[in-house]
Protein backbone atom coordinates (compact mmCIF):
# COMPACT_ATOMS: atom_id res chain seq x y z
CA UNK A 1 0.00 0.00 0.00
CA UNK A 2 1.27 3.45 -0.86
CA UNK A 3 1.99 5.97 1.87
CA UNK A 4 -0.76 8.58 1.91
CA UNK A 5 0.33 12.17 2.44
CA UNK A 6 -1.97 15.09 3.14
CA UNK A 7 -0.48 18.39 1.96
CA UNK A 8 -1.93 21.52 3.57
CA UNK A 9 -0.58 24.44 1.53
CA UNK A 10 -2.27 27.58 0.21
CA UNK A 11 0.26 28.47 -2.47
CA UNK A 12 -0.65 26.81 -5.78
CA UNK A 13 2.93 26.61 -7.05
CA UNK A 14 4.24 25.10 -3.82
CA UNK A 15 1.34 22.65 -3.79
CA UNK A 16 2.10 21.67 -7.36
CA UNK A 17 5.79 21.12 -6.69
CA UNK A 18 5.31 19.14 -3.47
CA UNK A 19 2.64 16.98 -5.12
CA UNK A 20 4.84 16.37 -8.15
CA UNK A 21 7.87 15.37 -6.06
CA UNK A 22 5.84 13.04 -3.87
CA UNK A 23 3.97 11.44 -6.76
CA UNK A 24 7.26 10.84 -8.54
CA UNK A 25 8.32 8.92 -5.45
CA UNK A 26 5.17 6.83 -5.38
CA UNK A 27 3.37 8.55 -2.53
CA UNK A 28 -0.39 8.99 -2.63
CA UNK A 29 -1.38 12.66 -2.38
CA UNK A 30 -4.33 14.40 -0.81
CA UNK A 31 -4.51 18.19 -1.04
CA UNK A 32 -6.02 20.88 1.17
CA UNK A 33 -5.57 24.60 0.54
CA UNK A 34 -6.41 25.94 4.00
CA UNK A 35 -6.33 24.84 7.61
CA UNK A 36 -10.03 24.18 8.12
CA UNK A 37 -10.22 22.03 5.02
CA UNK A 38 -6.97 20.31 6.04
CA UNK A 39 -8.35 19.29 9.42
CA UNK A 40 -11.60 18.05 7.90
CA UNK A 41 -9.72 16.12 5.23
CA UNK A 42 -7.38 14.59 7.81
CA UNK A 43 -10.33 13.28 9.80
CA UNK A 44 -12.00 11.87 6.72
CA UNK A 45 -9.03 10.21 5.05
CA UNK A 46 -6.58 9.42 7.87
CA UNK A 47 -3.30 10.17 6.07
CA UNK A 48 0.00 8.52 7.07
CA UNK A 49 1.85 11.83 7.08
CA UNK A 50 0.76 15.48 7.07
CA UNK A 51 2.85 18.17 5.39
CA UNK A 52 1.83 21.48 6.88
CA UNK A 53 2.57 24.95 5.59
CA UNK A 54 2.83 27.45 8.46
CA UNK A 55 1.81 30.59 6.59
CA UNK A 56 -1.84 29.88 5.85
CA UNK A 57 -4.77 32.32 5.65
CA UNK A 58 -7.18 32.57 8.61
CA UNK A 59 -5.88 29.60 10.61
CA UNK A 60 -2.08 29.40 10.57
CA UNK A 61 -0.06 26.20 10.69
CA UNK A 62 0.56 26.44 14.43
CA UNK A 63 -3.18 26.53 15.08
CA UNK A 64 -3.74 23.66 12.63
CA UNK A 65 -1.07 21.51 14.32
CA UNK A 66 -2.52 22.19 17.78
CA UNK A 67 -6.00 21.31 16.57
CA UNK A 68 -4.83 18.09 14.90
CA UNK A 69 -3.18 17.03 18.16
CA UNK A 70 -6.46 17.50 20.03
CA UNK A 71 -8.24 14.97 17.83
CA UNK A 72 -7.81 11.47 19.22
CA UNK A 73 -7.51 9.54 16.00
CA UNK A 74 -5.08 12.09 14.52
CA UNK A 75 -2.82 12.47 17.56
CA UNK A 76 -0.04 10.20 16.35
CA UNK A 77 0.07 11.11 12.65
CA UNK A 78 3.49 12.64 11.88
CA UNK A 79 3.24 16.34 11.06
CA UNK A 80 6.07 17.91 9.09
CA UNK A 81 6.04 21.69 8.96
CA UNK A 82 7.15 23.24 5.67
CA UNK A 83 7.94 26.89 6.02
CA UNK A 84 10.15 29.79 5.12
CA UNK A 85 9.97 31.12 8.67
CA UNK A 86 13.52 30.79 9.89
CA UNK A 87 13.53 33.08 12.88
CA UNK A 88 15.17 31.75 16.04
CA UNK A 89 12.46 30.10 18.10
CA UNK A 90 10.14 29.29 15.20
CA UNK A 91 11.20 25.68 15.05
CA UNK A 92 10.59 25.25 18.77
CA UNK A 93 7.24 26.96 18.40
CA UNK A 94 6.23 24.47 15.72
CA UNK A 95 7.40 21.47 17.71
CA UNK A 96 5.50 22.77 20.72
CA UNK A 97 2.39 23.12 18.57
CA UNK A 98 2.66 19.43 17.70
CA UNK A 99 4.83 19.14 14.58
CA UNK A 100 7.43 16.35 14.52
CA UNK A 101 9.88 18.09 12.25
CA UNK A 102 10.59 20.95 9.97
CA UNK A 103 11.61 21.39 6.33
CA UNK A 104 12.68 24.83 5.15
CA UNK A 105 11.39 26.60 2.06
CA UNK A 106 12.37 26.99 -0.65
CA UNK A 107 12.10 23.23 -0.85
CA UNK A 108 15.10 21.61 -2.49
CA UNK A 109 13.70 19.04 -4.97
CA UNK A 110 16.90 16.97 -4.76
CA UNK A 111 16.79 16.50 -0.99
CA UNK A 112 13.14 16.94 -0.03
CA UNK A 113 12.18 13.24 0.01
CA UNK A 114 15.29 12.36 2.04
CA UNK A 115 14.61 15.14 4.53
CA UNK A 116 11.06 13.94 4.94
CA UNK A 117 12.06 10.31 5.39
CA UNK A 118 14.71 11.27 7.90
CA UNK A 119 12.12 13.00 10.06
CA UNK A 120 9.81 9.97 9.81
CA UNK A 121 12.65 7.59 10.70
CA UNK A 122 13.54 9.66 13.75
CA UNK A 123 9.96 9.46 14.98
CA UNK A 124 9.95 5.68 14.60
CA UNK A 125 13.17 5.45 16.60
CA UNK A 126 11.80 7.60 19.39
CA UNK A 127 8.81 5.28 19.68
CA UNK A 128 10.91 2.13 20.08
MN1 LIG B 1 1.50 29.57 2.63
Using CA atoms, how far apart are residues 85 and 123, in angstroms rounded to an integer? 23
Task: Give domain status of residue 128, yes or no.
Answer: no
Bridge partners of 32, per DSSP, are 8
pLDDT digits (tens, 9 = 90+) for 63-84: 999 999 999 999 999 999 998 8
Task: Give domain status of residue 72, yes or no.
Answer: yes
Cβ neighbours of residue 72 closer than 8 Å, sequence gap 6 or more: none
Q: How far is the CA of 55 from the centre of ligand 1 (A)?
A: 4
Q: Cis bond leading into 106, ω under 30°?
A: yes
Using CA atoms, how far apart are residues 23 and 36, in angstroms rounded to an integer? 24
Asked if residues 42 and 26 have their Cβ atoms less than 8 Å apart, the reply is no
Q: How far is the CA of 92 from the centre of ligand 1 (A)?
A: 19
| Number of helices (H), then strands (E), in the chain | 5, 5
Number of domains the chain contains: 1
pLDDT digits (tens, 9 = 90+) for 33-46: 999 999 999 999 99
pTM of the model: 0.94
Q: How far is the CA of 125 from the centre of ligand 1 (A)?
A: 30
Task: Give domain status of residue 127, yes or no.
Answer: no
Range of the domain at 54: 4-122
Q: How far is the CA of 36 from the centre of ligand 1 (A)?
A: 14
Amino acid sequence: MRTKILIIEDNIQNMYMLSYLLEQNNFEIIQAFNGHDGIATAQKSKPDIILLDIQLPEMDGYAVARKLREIDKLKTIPIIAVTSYAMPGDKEKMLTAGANGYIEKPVNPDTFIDEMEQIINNISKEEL
